Structure 1
């Protein structure tokens, strides 16, 4: 009874307050004067700045009286709705643009399009946030994108890429990353994803979202990475200087400055990824207008709004309050305002949040999907597919895949490859499926099996304006083909369907030149009859060996590269000169291998065939190898016995294998129409259904994000490993690196050379081959690695290679 009486008293007080405040605003105003009632919700010090601006406005317009009323943030929307429904309330108020859909649908805010506002000064993306059903329902006052805060006492040059962020975290400069959908969406664009296509269909299931979720899942286990939906916890990590980075919004600035001081805080744009720049969702604080005001009153309120958002007042709000201005004409001094400048730079790549049913569904389903995937309840691809289906069904929109399957193209295509007979049969099957979908297109698959120099033949044919439309070959040829202009670059939303690491192998000077057909790398096989819980670290691996299990480790630069990142090793410097391992990581890894090979239970060998046979015969518990061995091992041991997990963690970071792909390249000699046809087939061959067919017939691992793999399958282990992989740069210096790489490992493992000395010789040999000067660097000796381990712890079609005939 008491609670009911209390609520009645509060409700009557609110109503009386609303009526009294409304009485402050006269119903008319003329050109020379009048009164305006403004509601806002700000902290007291910020409210004082608003009052100063209101005084300035009154000074510029004698006879005008502006009454500013501070309203509690938790009550502002409710009180405004209550007042507006009675035809009362303020003429203008400040609130988040997310309110516009609700208030616009209820006709409780005014479309100001007819008042003729000047919108040229605002960022285009910001204006999208204040539109509703074709009308303009406010003006943007300040912007709220997510950006990357960093502690200047801990970071000199902030990470510019996702890889750089992980590297900094592993190096002791931790990262606090908010995983709420509206905070964490930024990585979707960085990996090539987007929300809508030009027709309004939702594209969440095209690969970018799943790739980003998989990146986040992997990052959860990475050293120095702290991922959480609890904003307060993340802020505390940053203010306690336990981390150097924090993904937050401008409204965090006051708290951060209070804890760390003004000079310790800066902000920069979020890290870019394979798909380009990061794109956080852009939220806006807007000035909205009451439809109960007369036209003259509304005009006066509009003049106030345009005054508050002009360059001069925006500069005051920037300087005194920390608002990120919506006025694009304001120039911000990055040296004086390092935080606001960082957020303002981020605005340019931000994604607007339109006031539509579709966007509301995306925000709702996106949050559900992020929670379920990052909590380990759902698979990324399946969860995103389900969310997209629910959204498009609710909007009565046809799914994207259904629409693109309609094909009215005509023409002929020739595809060259030098893959195996099984691969050729799978490609023939894909071509038949394509021709069934595009009956007016013929596709001829030409096998050059056993021709390792096919890319050179292709390049010669392209230069002569003859040859095939498409070439399927290894990403090892990306530099050679792209740098000579033999292949076309690939752009568009199709890229987001592919694993970022796979696309990286096909990137030259920032552009992608092929679509990945499959990927290849090393991971850790284990026999589940011998091992229940596979080794997670290098120490675990040695402990298992000491307990009687056998560990097989292939040697050689490519086979055993994975331990170099685990020890923090560095190969190239910024100009692709091999450095003499100033970090000591390469030498430390070689020292670990050298010590491990004399331990009971550990076999380190350059004879990969012998190691393959040993694992297939059930003689070993562990083996580091590629996916091409899955079928052989499963035939020998049984699919239920063979398991694959990620490579062991080292003292600095996770083990990271070299990754390469086989990919579809398009000839640069094609005219625009033929190029479109070639890309259409390449897209078809790499889309999910075609990739499933390829996997079924050949065992290849698909680089298409949308191909679902079973959690317990061997393929799942390799898919998890690809997020911890390294793509060698597409530069000419790599050829000499690979040519000398095995010799480095042999000097240490069979020649007895000191690892640090061997690394220095390796650097000298590679740099000499590349015509690059030697670097004088202090070589850090590798840490001592003890050998004592405590248990606790012939072609189907024969073309003329010399003179390819035009098709």
Structure 2
């Protein structure tokens, strides 16, 4: 090998060594870079985790809520629901104030105007219209509280001019209560004739005697007060036929029509009535006071073509609009909790005297027969939407006056039906 070749070989060897050293250095730097990046990722992850914990801690709800409801609400269930919520939110203090039903509207209006209203109110839905008139209620944002599973009839009772002003908490209607100690299940009345026949056979019936509480019989004769567009659509003949039946029933000694629902309930509890047209809201008390689980509940008797149509009404949660965003957020969280599916189902089981507004709740009929009867009755019940409450407030007092005149014999059922139609239409034109 000549000298030039040796020199070239040595240079190639040196270049190869330098290249190898350079590659090793690159690999080392890459490894260091990966190690640093991994450490940075770990630090970022740790930092983010700390931030999440800090945010969770900072978002822990704290504050106070004043809840109003009337005396018809089950106190034990209300207190238990509050305790359930406070287990999750121990820093939220909830005070319940029971306001007499006949004072609630007046007191709320006074307190709202003075800036001292409660944070949330559980109220009969028909009172909502008065709250809306003075612009006192917050509209419920469907993005905050999902109302997609609420029964359409209940949703219509909290909706006005396209906005939702309340959250349905419970639904009620009328059913026929009976004493299982004296009535066999296979002999329950299916129609109005059965009531008359059983009364003649010695069984006793009690029902509240006023236009609203006997509303359930109008549908049996094919009548309805409003059509689907909310127009007054009562047929005078349907109400007249129902009043004719009530007149004949009143003359039987074992059928008692009374203006005092409390007296009827007491008589039923004492065993003096075999049947009692009761509101679902009274069922819990009846179950507690009747001995040996003697309370039975069945559908109201219907007719050959139409079922009974009792009124259906909702108890709803409404939130005044005069509080700070922070206070409103706490109240909304509480409202969302007590109306969620789990709480509604628990309430339906524990109380057993209302229909859950959530249409996805299903209770086994074999285990909860009273609840199943309420739900079945509700399918044929008459739910007056919130939009039609002003019309009902005009028509029902007129109906009450004529109802009493017919039962007293001052006017005939036919005359009463004709006057109800004429006077109601005139009043609606004048006042709306």
State the TM-score, normalized to the length of structure 1.
Answer: 0.43
Quick one: higher RCO (CA 8 Å, sep 6+), 1 or 2?
2
Measure how far apart 1:41 and its partner are.
3.3
Corresponding residue for residue 170 of structure 1: 200
Measure how far apart 1:335 and its partner are.
4.1
Q: Secondary structure at the match of 2:212?
A: helix
Corresponding residue for residue 347 of structure 2: 317
Q: Secondary structure at the match of 1:395?
A: helix
Corresponding residue for residue 54 of structure 1: 82
Corresponding residue for residue 99 of structure 2: 72
Is 1:353 paired with 2:384?
yes
Which of 265, 269, 274 is the matching residue for 2:304? 274
Measure how far apart 1:341 and its partner are.
3.1
Q: 1:352 to 1:41 in 2, by over 3 A?
A: same
- List aligned pairs for 1:26-105, cutoff 5 A: 32-41=60-69, 46-60=74-88, 62=89, 65-74=92-101, 75-105=103-133
Measure how far apart 1:38 and its partner are.
3.5
Measure how far apart 1:375 and its partner are.
1.8
Aligned residues: 367
- List aligned pairs for 1:627-646, cutoff 5 A: none
8 A contact 2:283–2:353 mirrored in 1:
no
Corresponding residue for residue 505 of structure 1: none
State the TM-score, normalized to the length of structure 2.
Answer: 0.77
2:311 and 2:418 mapped to 1: Cα distance?
21
Corresponding residue for residue 260 of structure 2: 230
Superposed CA offset, 1:217-257 (max 9, x none): 11112353222222133223322323211001123224433
Which of 117, 134, 158 is the matching residue for 1:130? 158
8 A contact 1:54–1:66 mirrored in 2:
no
Corresponding residue for residue 187 of structure 1: 217
Measure how far apart 1:371 and its partner are.
1.4
Corresponding residue for residue 367 of structure 1: 400
- List aligned pairs for 1:526-541, cutoff 5 A: none
Corresponding residue for residue 28 of structure 2: none
Measure how far apart 1:279 and its partner are.
0.9
8 A contact 1:185–1:281 mirrored in 2:
yes
2:106 and 2:170 mapped to 1: Cα distance?
22
Is 1:221 paired with 2:251?
yes
Q: 1:63 to 1:265 in 2, by over 3 A?
A: closer
Measure how far apart 1:42 and its partner are.
5.8
Corresponding residue for residue 340 of structure 1: 371
2:215 and 2:207 mapped to 1: Cα distance?
11
Measure how far apart 1:295 and its partner are.
4.3
Superposed CA offset, 1:601-658 (max 9, x none): xxxxxxxxxxxxxxxxxxxxxxxxxxxxxxxxxxxxxxxxxxxxxxxxxxxxxxxxxx
Which of 309, 313, 330 is the matching residue for 2:361? 330
Q: Which runs of 5+ in 2 are unaligned?
A: 1-57
Corresponding residue for residue 106 of structure 1: 134
Measure how far apart 1:260 and its partner are.
2.0
Is 1:143 paired with 2:171?
yes
Measure how far apart 1:290 and its partner are.
0.8
CA RMSD of aligned residues (A): 2.6
1:346 and 1:180 mapped to 2: Cα distance?
21
Q: 1:224 to 1:149 in 2, by over 3 A?
A: same
Q: Secondary structure at the match of 2:235?
A: helix
Higher helix residue share: 2
Q: 1:171 to 1:257 in 2, by over 3 A?
A: same
Superposed CA offset, 1:319-341 (max 9, x none): 33344122232223444444333
Measure how far apart 1:199 and its partner are.
4.3
- List aligned pairs for 1:494-643, cutoff 5 A: none
Q: 1:310 to 1:167 in 2, by over 3 A?
A: farther
